[in-house]
Amino acid sequence: MPYTIGYDFGSESGRAVLVDVADGREVASAVHPYKHGVIDQQLPDGTRLGHDWALQHPADYLEVLEVTTKAILAQSRIPADDIVGIGTDFTACTVLPVKADGTPLCLTDKWKGTPHAWIKLWKHHAAQAWADRLNELAERRKEPWLSTYGGKISSEWLFPKVAQVAEEAPDVYDAADKFIEAADWIVWQLTGVETRNACTAGYKAIWDADSGYPTRDFCAAYHPKLANLIDKLGPPRPLGEKAGELTPAMAAKLGLKAGTAVAIGNVDAHVSVPACGTTDNGVFVAIMGTSCCDIICGPEKKVVPGMCGVVKDGVVPGSYGYEAGQSGFGDHFAWLSRFLGKADPGHAALEAGAEQLGPGGSGLLAVDWWNGNRSVLVDADLTGVLVGMNLQTTPIEVYRALIESLAFGLRMIIDTFSQNGVKIERIIACGGMPEKNRLFMQVIADVTGRTIQIARSAQAPAVGSAIFGAVAASKRKGGYDTVSEAAKAMGGIKELSFTPNPSNRSVYNQLYTEYRTLHDFFGRTVPVMKRLKHIRAKAAAGGVSTETIERRAHK
């Protein structure tokens, strides 16, 4: 009876799930928080960090491996001999400088007090100026890859992060033999072999299967020190391949068998696709959490305005994987809850009240940009809108408007893919939200006019990693030879699905027309939101004197 383990490394903790290779049954799972969490104030030695920094500690990842593996082995009593493969997924771009043997610079005495020697977590946002410079340069030079990323590289990605190191800590840059995604570093620790995966390289490091990384010429123009950056990266390998085998040392540490197959690294969102039971083209998988990440595969490369990226073999081997998303999703509801404070009636009451209202029954129309817009406008400076407020407007009405607005934002992405030649056959929702937010899922079905299926596992990324672990093992060793076969056997969807209600759909079609009007007005035509941010920034900078109240004598 073969089993595999999937490890899912998140922002605050890591998770392991032990999965039956035959049918994907989750036999055991364990979560362990990172001891150092997100390091955003000071290094362990007390060195202060700047604004918008976000680092991590590599030892935390290793501790997760050890603690969770022992926990699932103990829970399941499955013998290590039956565990044939391991897969991993990570947040990205989460990148660190290492020596040639994979030692993180931050774990050496020389560099442990230098912030730039540490792991930069995906949400390290202090490299925004370097993203701006990169976009400006790429546009000016008409770099062919820019359109692949919706016309904009994010400050969260590898190039801006490494450029910040080169500029602010040139000695760290020089001391780093490699810069490597944590997704690949953890595989290196497991196998003793350095590999790179096509997913993080493609979506976060401007790499393309045909043309490779940006040219050395471009890198040097971006920052002189980066002329040798490509030497510090490495050639990515397709997803689904075996990276190597568990080293005896690591096997002993985890209680697993040396030689166990380890899959090439992967990203948490992208790895969720096979967990839904399919790797077919045209399956739109929406990974719903605080934000929403959308993945779809297609047979050819299309330029779709406002997507995050399109990468050959980036999700499953043999197809083009497209990524898009909404930078704010469930966190809109968290905002409403915070706004209401002790008056928050709770999710169940909000959902029940909102359901009573029916489509358009709030009288409100929201634009879902509380955390900016990732697709299709690719503009972090956009902000949220509420229209239709009146003296009777209630929190329940705002809640309903937020739900509808998020569904409109999702439809905008779906329509944009469809209109640009990326065919969508099915929609599958996964992540923590779908099971807990049934009204929301129904509204999405009604707004998009499509049936919404739900991933079977609530921990889809970890199951996805276990699937890749089974492929790394190969059929001969009890796994599968292709991601597609493994996905069919081990992934799947729930019996629950949400089908569009035709009369609701017609109301939403009217509302969506209004949403598009506001979307284009605020997002494309009139930069009111940017000007508000600018005015606010000036106010915060103290450009505004205190109020004055004068008293005057009147007869």
Q: Is 339 in the site for its own copies (CB under 8 A)?
A: yes
Q: Is 128 in the site for its own copies (CB under 8 A)?
A: no
Cα–Cα distances (Å) from 278 to 268, 334, 384, 425, in that order, read 16, 32, 35, 12
User: CB of 456: closest distance to its own copies in angstroms?
Assistant: 9
Contact code string over 310-329 relative to its own copies, x by CB under 8 A: ------------------x-
Which residues sit opposite 309 in a β-bridge? Answer: 323
Q: Is 51 in the site for its own copies (CB under 8 A)?
A: no
Interface residue with its own copies, options 40, 177, 241, 355 (CB under 8 A) = 355
Q: Which of positions 434-473 make contact with its own copies (CB under 8 A)? A: 438-439, 442, 453
Whether the link from the prior residue into 308 is cis, omega within 30° of 0, is: no
Torsion 462-329-124-38 (CA) sign = negative
Q: Identify which of residues 221 and 340 has a Cβ nearer to its own copies in the complex.
A: 340
Q: Is 191 helix (H, G, I), strand (E, B) or coil?
A: helix
Interface residue with its own copies, options 252, 259, 389, 425 (CB under 8 A) = 389
User: CB of 230: closest distance to its own copies in angstroms?
Assistant: 37
User: CB of 215: closest distance to its own copies in angstroms?
Assistant: 38
Q: Is 347 in the site for its own copies (CB under 8 A)?
A: no
- Contact assessment for residue 324 and residue 375, using Cβ atoms and an 8 Å cutoff: yes
How far apart CA 417 and CA 402 sit, in angstroms, is 23
Cα–Cα distances (Å) from 210 to 18, 148, 198, 203, in that order, read 36, 13, 12, 14
Cα–Cα distances (Å) from 521 to 276, 315, 381, 388, 536, in that order, read 37, 34, 15, 16, 21
* Rg, the chain, Cα only: 24
Torsion 129-132-138-140 (CA) sign = negative
Q: Which stretch binds its own copies (CB under 8 A): 252-260, 261-269, 315-323, 494-502?
A: 494-502
Q: Identify which of residues 117 and 429 has a Cβ nearer to its own copies in the complex.
A: 429
Q: Identify which of residues 87 and 500 has a Cβ nearer to its own copies in the complex.
A: 500
Q: Is 362 in the site for its own copies (CB under 8 A)?
A: yes
Report the amino acid identity of residue 498.
Answer: F
Q: Is 469 helix (H, G, I), strand (E, B) or coil?
A: helix
Q: Identify which of residues 49 and 340 has a Cβ nearer to its own copies in the complex.
A: 340
Written as six digits, the tokens of 22 are 């035959």
Q: Is 47 in the site for its own copies (CB under 8 A)?
A: no
User: CB of 71: closest distance to its own copies in angstroms?
Assistant: 31
Q: Identify which of residues 13 and 497 has a Cβ nearer to its own copies in the complex.
A: 497
Q: Is 22 in the site for its own copies (CB under 8 A)?
A: no
Q: Is 395 in the site for its own copies (CB under 8 A)?
A: yes
Interface residue with its own copies, options 224, 235, 499, 524 (CB under 8 A) = 499
Interface residue with its own copies, options 299, 358, 423, 475 (CB under 8 A) = 358
In 224-291, which residue ranges form alpha helices assigned H by DSSP? 248-254, 272-275
By CB under 8 A, how many residues form the interface with its own copies?
A: 82
Of 512, 514, 506, 504, nearest in space to 387 by CA: 514
Q: Exposure of 452 by Cβ count < 10 A (0-12 exposed, 13-18 middle, 19+ buried)?
A: buried
Interface residue with its own copies, options 66, 241, 481, 514 (CB under 8 A) = 514
Interface residue with its own copies, options 43, 385, 407, 483 (CB under 8 A) = 385
Q: Identify which of residues 418 and 506 has a Cβ nearer to its own copies in the complex.
A: 506
Query: How many CB atoms within 10 Å of residue 157?
Result: 25
- Contact assessment for residue 205 and residue 213, using Cβ atoms and an 8 Å cutoff: yes
Query: How many CB atoms within 10 Å of residue 15?
Result: 21
Q: Is 501 in the site for its own copies (CB under 8 A)?
A: yes
Q: Is 348 in the site for its own copies (CB under 8 A)?
A: no
Q: Which stretch binds its own copies (CB under 8 A): 3-11, 53-61, 155-163, 502-510?
A: 502-510
- Contact assessment for residue 55 and residue 441, using Cβ atoms and an 8 Å cutoff: no
Contact code string over 75-104 relative to its own copies, x by CB under 8 A: ------------------------------
Q: Which stretch binds its own copies (CB under 8 A): 19-27, 122-130, 156-164, 531-539?
A: 531-539
Q: Which of positions 364-383 make contact with its own copies (CB under 8 A)? A: 364-365, 369-371, 383
